[in-house]
Amino acid sequence: MANKESPAELKRMRQLLQQFDQCDDGKIELSQLGDCLRVLGANPSERCVRQHIRQLRAGHIERVPFAEVMSIHASIVSSARKAAKESGPGTMAEQLILGLRFFDEHNTGFISAARLARVLTTCGERLTKEEMNELLVGHVNDQGLVNYVEFVHAITSSK
């Protein structure tokens, strides 16, 4: 694995991994892989996590060694960096705003909360209705519209 992390960062990551090691054998359960990767700072989609779990199960691995978790983490982070470079200029917020602008038919800066909810619960990495309702709190005006620029900045700056 080609990690670019400093020795101190690797030590910190290993300590985080040890919190998932319930058998004190330097391994984690397959079911913990997604949570573990996210704690380490990667942001894999559920599809990506399921794909890695399938590959590990195909190799008859039920408990994942730390070295393998670190390798998967490095792969995900590397892919994310590559995708960010290839996606062209603009921050994630700018890209989200451009995507949502497509639904702003009258170029008012607002889109229907119902349409936004429908898009975010049915396309791509789908949100649950509960997650969507939580995101919309405080962003829907009395006409049922969302200022999508403010909405995007609110959800991207809260991370």
Domains of the chain: 7-86 (1.10.238.10), 92-157 (1.10.238.10)
Question: Is there a contact between 96 and 60 (Cβ–Cβ < 8 Å)?
Answer: no
Cα dihedral: 9, 15, 16, 20 (round 10):
150
Q: What is the pLDDT of residue 140?
A: 94
Q: What is the pLDDT of residue 97?
A: 87
Which residues, in sequence order, are CB contacts of 93 under 8 Å at separation 6+?
152, 153, 156
Q: For the chain, which ranges sit under pLDDT 50? A: 1-3, 159
Q: What is the pLDDT of residue 5?
A: 73
- Identify the bridge partners of residue 140 per DSSP, sorted by sequence position: 146
| Exposed / middle / buried, residue 76 (Cβ in 10 Å: 0-12, 13-18, 19+) | buried
- Identify the bridge partners of residue 28 per DSSP, sorted by sequence position: 64
How far from 125 is each of 45, 120, 131, 159, CA to CA, in Å? 7, 8, 12, 17
Q: How far apart are CA 97 and CA 36, in angstroms?
A: 30
Which residues, in sequence order, are CB contacts of 105 under 8 Å at separation 6+?
none
Q: What is the pLDDT of residue 2?
A: 45
Closest CA to 51 of 29, 76, 26: 76
Considering just the CA atoms, what is the radius of gyration of the chain in Å? 19
Q: What is the pLDDT of residue 38?
A: 87
Closest CA to 2 of 71, 81, 64: 71
Q: How far apart are CA 142 and CA 138, in angstroms?
A: 11
